[in-house]
């Protein structure tokens, strides 16, 4: 008789954003007159840039003609897209990355969840706390995390690196040496980041310990300060210890378009095994490529017109970030993030729990945010707001919060 | 230090179609003048139907306007698509399937590879032999298949159900009872299928033994005979033992568009665990939905115009199937399939091995097919040709083969 993967049954509750979605739906149904403003899930609201729309129309037409129709895409993704990525995201920053080290995918969420398949079952992972839930949950499903401790909200075999007010949200080298270190910088959910020289220390640490860094750079486009690296490959030695995940969701508004890529350098070898070859094998066996139309949309992100339009889009969201940051400050909150990232991280007032503050904000201001504790135990007592709403909604939300 | 998932290293050679691709490229480079006809990989060649192109243009425009822009899709897929699937693929055939049992994805390849994550590590899988390589390879990667025996080309812990000339390519109940049974019907690669009453026997067998059937219906649109079921849910009791995978690649030419869905009925419980809930959790945690534009393309498949256009497209390919079938017969080959499926399966002449015949056909006729042995040990001595080429190429290929 079929036995199921029992690790799935260890997962407490549902995926964070599904839970929020259900809570908000229930409130909306019970209060039909209320106008709810969503600054919770990191979903963008601005339409796609004109250059991207044009590129997709052209690609759709190509698919309708026998001369230009495209079937299965190449395993790693189309060269036109991988070349554009290499040129703009790496060569332009002095990073040595080849086109055949780029693996195009349907987004960083899938890749960040799937990458753990390459690791042995007894590898120990380290995560920042709070953290994007997918890193931990995907390892739970694979049985790599031990048991869940209700009391602490922690998994017995996960190494947590608390990122809290007291250490300026900068992860510290853990006592126990991990095999895999997940770093998301600029960070989701705290909206904070570290400098290039601090990142170099992590690269050195990983190389020294034979650990792998899974570097999630989904928010790279929001970096404003000079001293922050846009890619981990700006650090010396990263090619022997780091995989980089990139998304088009936040820099180009592709949350509903679905495109991302993962960089696996060829030097990434552990024992006899090449992670590059293993990931290539996974890609070829379990995946069939991102749609041609969507890969053309990705290419347009790197066109001159696309770059200009997306710079404006990022500026639009970063203006929202300022509105939230300043508005919360004015309302007396303790606030972080929002400078190199589209997320604002606030301390809940008067020792309120994160979920209590969620309910408070939903019911009193009809504003949806994300409870910090949903991202890990050290997120308790914090709350995340995103800058991805419209300017009008963002301003309205802050007015409501200030009026509480 | 990071240890890798050693199961990956057990995989012999590369993914079948990557290997074929490389062989063909090498031949083409060495023989620049030759015009190669590809009837190997099951990739379609006809452009997308007009109704689908129109739907995608509309959806692209929606993504460019603030009022109609869409971000993250609902976890299971958009309701407009799931409702169309339920109505057309299930209700119309008298099958009871609800919209919240449909999980929209980027294709049946991903789903057929990912579904095994729900099973315990020691579950025993049974596959037809020959078989679509992804079922076995994805289980190898998860460590569920034991060791590979070079001599036989078989995995020690996999139950093989030979489908050969001698049993009319109909799988027989294996001696050892499996926990999971993969069935692809109409079959890839043999192009053969079984009747609804034969399928009912498999459903009864699975229910009796507490086994799960993973039913891959990717080629359903090519069924021509009355007595063949279009869905496993036409069989009584399938809701308690079967998951169905469906693809838009072959019925609508979406190999480069990427869309599929998986049906997981709510009755599918093993012990305390609901496979429906587990798959929902996987979908929510590791995946972020198919692109909005692509889901609208899927909806158009079920429009009146779409249905009409795709019926013609399927007829076009099935005419190719006849050309191949009849042409091979005339050339003296022993041939199967091609009636309810777009694949033609032939016995190699004079006891030639499958790969020898591949080289022979590539070098002598400049025609690319797929070696039967690439699909499993019982495929040795067989060869697959696909009907997905253009009519002109298909006819030319058969003329060349007849001229050998």
pLDDT tens string for chain B (404 positions)? 999 999 999 998 766 887 898 999 999 999 999 999 999 888 899 999 999 999 999 999 999 999 999 999 998 999 999 999 999 999 999 999 999 999 999 999 999 999 999 999 999 999 999 999 999 999 999 999 999 998 999 999 999 999 999 999 999 999 999 999 999 999 999 999 999 999 999 999 999 999 999 999 999 999 999 999 999 999 999 999 999 999 999 999 999 999 999 999 999 999 989 999 999 999 999 999 999 999 999 999 999 999 999 999 999 999 999 999 999 999 999 999 999 999 999 999 999 999 999 999 999 999 999 999 999 999 999 999 999 999 999 999 999 999 99
User: How would you classify the pairing of strands B242-247 and B212-216?
Assistant: parallel
Question: How far are the Cα atoms of A255, A351, A381, A389 from residue A347, in angstroms, in the given order?
Answer: 28, 8, 6, 21
**Which residue is closest to B117 within chain A, CA to CA?**
A5
Predicted pLDDT of residue B17 = 80
The reply to whether residue A113 touches residue B275, judged by beta carbons under 8 angstroms, is no
The reply to whether residue A8 touches residue B273, judged by beta carbons under 8 angstroms, is yes
Predicted TM-score (pTM) of this structure: 0.96
Of B11, B73, B258, the CB nearest to A281: B11
Q: Note the Cα A81 to chain centre separation in Å.
A: 21
Going B129 to B130 to B132 to B138, the CA torsion angle's sign is: positive
Predicted pLDDT of residue B42 = 81
Does residue B101 sit at the A interface (CB-CB below 8 Å)? no
- Whether the predicted pLDDT of A14 surpasses 70: no
> pLDDT of A338-373, one tens digit each?
999 999 999 999 999 999 999 999 999 999 999 999
Neighbouring residues of A322: CB distance < 8 A, sequence distance ≥ 6 = A338
**Alpha-carbon distance A248 to nearest alpha carbon in chain B (angstroms):** 12
| Residue (of B41, B54, B39) closest to B309 by Cα position | B54
Q: Note the Cα A243 to chain centre separation in Å.
A: 14
Set of chain B residues whose Cβ sits within 8 Å of the Cβ of A279: none
Phi/psi of residue A346, nearest 5 degrees: -125, 155
Set of chain A residues whose Cβ sits within 8 Å of the Cβ of B46: 66, 69
- Whether the predicted pLDDT of A15 surpasses 80: no
Set of chain A residues whose Cβ sits within 8 Å of the Cβ of B6: 120
* Residue that the structure tokens 């919060």 belong to: A401
**Alpha-carbon distance A149 to nearest alpha carbon in chain B (angstroms):** 20
Burial of A210 from C-beta contacts in 10 A (0-12 / 13-18 / 19+): middle
CB pairs under 8 A between A and B: 258
Q: Cα–Cα–Cα angle for A228, A229, A235, nearest 5°?
A: 130
Tell me the average pLDDT of chain A.
Answer: 96
Question: How far are the Cα atoms of A66, A289, B109, B275 from residue B259, in angstroms, in the given order?
Answer: 20, 11, 10, 22
Of B5, B255, B257, the CB nearest to A120: B5
The residues pairing with A350 across neighbouring beta strands, listed in sequence order, are none
**Which residue is closest to B291 within chain A, CA to CA?**
A257
Long-range own/partner contacts, residues A349-354 (CB < 8 A, 24 or more apart)? A351/A381, A352/A381, A353/A380, A353/A381, A354/A379, A354/A380, A354/A381, A354/A382, A354/A383
> pLDDT of A163-211, one tens digit each?
999 999 999 999 999 999 999 999 999 999 999 999 999 999 999 999 9
Set of chain B residues whose Cβ sits within 8 Å of the Cβ of A285: 15, 113, 133-134, 137-138, 141
Optimal mutation site among A60, A105, A205, A268, interface B, most CBs of chain B within 10 A:
A60
Q: What 3-state DSSP class applies to A184? A: strand
- Whether the predicted pLDDT of A12 surpasses 90: no
Q: Domains plus CATH for chain A? A: 13-48+305-402 (3.90.1150.10), 53-304 (3.40.640.10)
Of A15, A180, A278, the CB nearest to B8: A278
Q: Compute, in degrees rounded to 10, the torsion defined by CA atoms A305, A309, A310, A315.
A: 150
Chain A, window 213-242: residues with a beta carbon less than 8 angstroms from a chain B beta carbon = none
Gyration radius of chain B over CA positions: 21
Gyration radius of chain A over CA positions: 21
The reply to whether residue B3 touches residue A258, judged by beta carbons under 8 angstroms, is no
Does residue A200 sit at the B interface (CB-CB below 8 Å)? no
The reply to whether residue B57 touches residue A60, judged by beta carbons under 8 angstroms, is yes
Question: How far are the Cα atoms of B331, B369, B385 from residue B401, in angstroms, in the given order?
Answer: 8, 12, 12
Set of chain B residues whose Cβ sits within 8 Å of the Cβ of A11: 281
> pLDDT of A17-40, one tens digit each?
878 989 999 999 999 999 999 998
Does residue B25 sit at the A interface (CB-CB below 8 Å)? no
Set of chain A residues whose Cβ sits within 8 Å of the Cβ of B133: 285
Set of chain A residues whose Cβ sits within 8 Å of the Cβ of B109: 286-288
User: How would you classify the pairing of strands A212-216 and A102-105?
Assistant: unpaired
The reply to whether residue A50 touches residue B64, judged by beta carbons under 8 angstroms, is yes
Neighbouring residues of B94: CB distance < 8 A, sequence distance ≥ 6 = B234
- The H-assigned helical ranges of A33-187 are 50-63, 79-85, 108-114, 133-141
Q: ipTM value, please give it.
A: 0.96
| Residue (of B283, B404, B309) closest to B348 by Cα position | B404
Does residue A294 sit at the B interface (CB-CB below 8 Å)? yes
Furthest-apart CA atoms within chain A: distance in Å:
66
Q: Which two tokens stand for residue A94?
A: 């002095």
**Alpha-carbon distance A351 to nearest alpha carbon in chain B (angstroms):** 30
> Directed axis angle between helix B304-330 and helix B292-301, to 10°?
70
Query: Within 10 A of A392 (CB to CB), how many other CB atoms are there?
Result: 9
Set of chain B residues whose Cβ sits within 8 Å of the Cβ of A47: 63-66, 69
Cα end-to-end span (Å), chain A? 57
**Alpha-carbon distance B125 to nearest alpha carbon in chain A (angstroms):** 10
Q: Which two tokens stand for residue B55?
A: 């739907």
Q: Could you give the CA distance from residue A155 to residue A177 in angstroms, rounded to a whole number?
A: 16
The reply to whether residue A70 touches residue B287, judged by beta carbons under 8 angstroms, is no
Q: What 3-state DSSP class applies to A226? A: coil
Q: What 3-state DSSP class applies to B24? A: helix
DSSP A239: G
Q: What share of chain A is helix, strand, coil (3-state, %, to 5)?
A: 45, 15, 40
Q: What 3-state DSSP class applies to B314? A: helix
Q: Cα–Cα–Cα angle for A335, A341, A345, nearest 5°?
A: 25
Query: Within 10 A of B153 (CB to CB), how many other CB atoms are there?
Result: 16
Does residue B107 sit at the A interface (CB-CB below 8 Å)? yes
Set of chain B residues whose Cβ sits within 8 Å of the Cβ of A70: 256
Q: How many CA atoms lie within 13 A of A387 on its CB side?
A: 33
Question: Where would I find the beta strands (DSSP E) of B194-310?
Answer: 212-216, 242-247, 260-263, 269-270, 273-274
Set of chain B residues whose Cβ sits within 8 Å of the Cβ of A301: none
- The H-assigned helical ranges of B115-255 are 133-141, 196-209
Set of chain A residues whose Cβ sits within 8 Å of the Cβ of B44: 71
Optimal mutation site among A21, A110, A291, A309, interface B, most CBs of chain B within 10 A:
A291
Give the length of chain B.
404
Does residue A165 sit at the B interface (CB-CB below 8 Å)? no
Does residue B290 sit at the A interface (CB-CB below 8 Å)? yes
Set of chain A residues whose Cβ sits within 8 Å of the Cβ of B123: 2-3
Chain A, window 56-85: residues with a beta carbon less than 8 angstroms from a chain B beta carbon = 56-57, 60-61, 63-66, 69-73, 75
Predicted pLDDT of residue A367 = 97
Question: How far are the Cα atoms of A207, B44, B117, B261, B386 from residue B34, in angstroms, in the given order?
Answer: 50, 22, 44, 40, 21
């Amino acid at each position: 008789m079929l036995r199921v993967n029992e690790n799935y049954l260890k997962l407490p509750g549902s995926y964070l954003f599904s839970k929020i979605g259900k809570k908000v739906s229930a409130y909306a149904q019970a209060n039909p007159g209320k106008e709810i403003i969503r600054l919770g899930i990191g979903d963008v609201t601005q339409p796609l840039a004109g250059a991207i729309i044009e590129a997709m129309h052209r690609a759709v037409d190509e698919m309708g003609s026998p001369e230009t129709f495209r079937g299965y895409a190449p395993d790693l993704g189309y060269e036109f897209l991988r070349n554009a990525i290499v040129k703009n995201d790496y060569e332009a920053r002095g990073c040595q990355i080849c086109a055949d080290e780029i693996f195009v995918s349907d987004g960083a969420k899938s890749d960040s969840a799937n990458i753990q398949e390459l690791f042995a079952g007894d590898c120990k992972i380290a995560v920042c706390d709070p953290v994007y839930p997918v890193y931990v949950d995907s390892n739970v499903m694979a049985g790599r995390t031990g048991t869940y401790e209700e009391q602490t909200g922690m998994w017995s075999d996960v190494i947590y690196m608390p990122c809290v007010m007291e250490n300026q949200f900068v992860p510290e080298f853990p006592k126990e040496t991990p095999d895999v270190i997940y770093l998301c910088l600029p960070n989701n959910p705290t909206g904070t980041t570290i400098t290039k020289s601090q990142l170099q220390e992590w690269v050195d640490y990983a190389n020294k310990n034979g650990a792998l860094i899974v570097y999630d750079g989904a928010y790279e486009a929001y970096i404003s300060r000079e001293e922050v690296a846009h890619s981990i490959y700006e650090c010396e030695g990263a090619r022997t210890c780091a995989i980089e995940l990139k998304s088009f969701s936040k820099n180009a508004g592709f949350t509903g378009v679905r495109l991302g890529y993962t960089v696996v350098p060829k030097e990434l070898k552990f024992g006899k095994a090449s992670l590059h070859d293993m990931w290539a094998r996974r890609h070829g066996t379990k995946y069939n490529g991102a749609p041609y139309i969507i890969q053309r949309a990705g290419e347009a992100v790197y066109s001159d017109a696309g770059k200009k339009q997306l710079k404006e889009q990022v500026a639009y969201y970063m203006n929202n970030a300022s509105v939230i940051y300043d508005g919360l400050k004015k309302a007396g909150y303790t606030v972080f993030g929002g400078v190199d990232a589209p997320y604002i991280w606030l301390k809940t007032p008067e020792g309120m729990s994160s979920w209590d503050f969620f309910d408070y904000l939903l019911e009193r201001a009809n504003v949806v945010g994300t409870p910090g504790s949903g991202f890990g135990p050290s997120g308790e007592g914090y709350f995340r707001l995103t800058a991805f709403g419209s300017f009008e909604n963002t301003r309205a939300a802050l007015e409501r919060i200030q009026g509480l």
